[in-house]
Amino acid sequence: MHFTTKALVMCADSHQPSSSSALVCLHAIFQGRVQGVGFRYRTSKLAKQHPITGFVKNLSDGTVELIVQASNKTELDHFFDEMMLMFATNVTDVSIQEIAPDPAIRDFRIAQ
């Protein structure tokens, strides 16, 4: 895997200091064998075990897009750690960037 779990945590840790009420939002693109293997379903199931919102979506180029946000940066760290353990054999590269949160997103879903 090109992007390690430690690097994911470091990426999430590089955000601006957040207060307990400020939303943190990440946009990720996963490459590898990520379509047709239950990636979106298992990601959605995992997301519902955490206090996070967002969506996961297959893209036409064979990658998977993930938007995830939480009021606690630590929750995003835990979510990404669990995700990378779950998909260690599928994911070959991950691109993650912080984006502006969308408070209108109230749940986690699989987008079409």
Catalytic residues: 40, 58
What is the reported pLDDT for 15?
41
Beta partners for 30?
64, 94
Helices 73-86 and 5-13: angle between axes, nearest 10 degrees: 160
Q: Per the confidence metrics, is the pTM higher than 0.85?
A: no
> What CATH number should be reported for the domain holding residue 28?
3.30.70.100
Averaged over successive runs of 10 residues, the pLDDT of the chain (112 residues) comes to 39 41 91 97 96 97 98 92 94 95 95 92
Into how many domains does the chain fold?
Answer: 1
